[in-house]
Amino acid sequence: MPLSSVSAAWVAEAGESMGFDLSDEDAERFARGVNDEIDGYAALDELAPADAAESIAVRDVRAPVEEEDPHNAYITAFTAEEDADGPLSDCLLYTSLMA
């Protein structure tokens, strides 16, 4: 099921429900950002059929340890095995490297 785009009015209302008083400009800016993210997810969905994820081997799903994530920036760490023929095989993926 595709995600729906959001309006500036929806963003302002959501912000107000959380105690934020957003200007019209801020609500517009946040709505554009959210909609850009939604468009990105839609583009990913077009790369492969809905059942493609069933064939992807993901291992070691866990919470990151402090040394891996000193700024508490992400909530899940995992290893996904590379597949030269997979739906993302021709995409450049960025990863975080730990020293």
Domain range list for the chain: 8-45, 55-99
Which pLDDT band holds residue 99 (cuts at 50, 70, 90)? very low
pTM of the predicted protein model: 0.49
Task: Identify the pLDDT of residue 2.
Answer: 73
- Provide mean pLDDT across the span 40-60: 73
Which pLDDT band holds residue 31 (cuts at 50, 70, 90)? very high
Residue type at 63?
A
Pairing of strands 77-80, 58-62: antiparallel
Task: Identify the pLDDT of residue 98.
Answer: 47
Task: Identify the pLDDT of residue 65.
Answer: 81
CB neighbour burial string for 66-76, b if at least 16 within 10 angstroms, e if fewer: eeeeeeeeeee
80, 56 contact by CB (below 8 A): yes
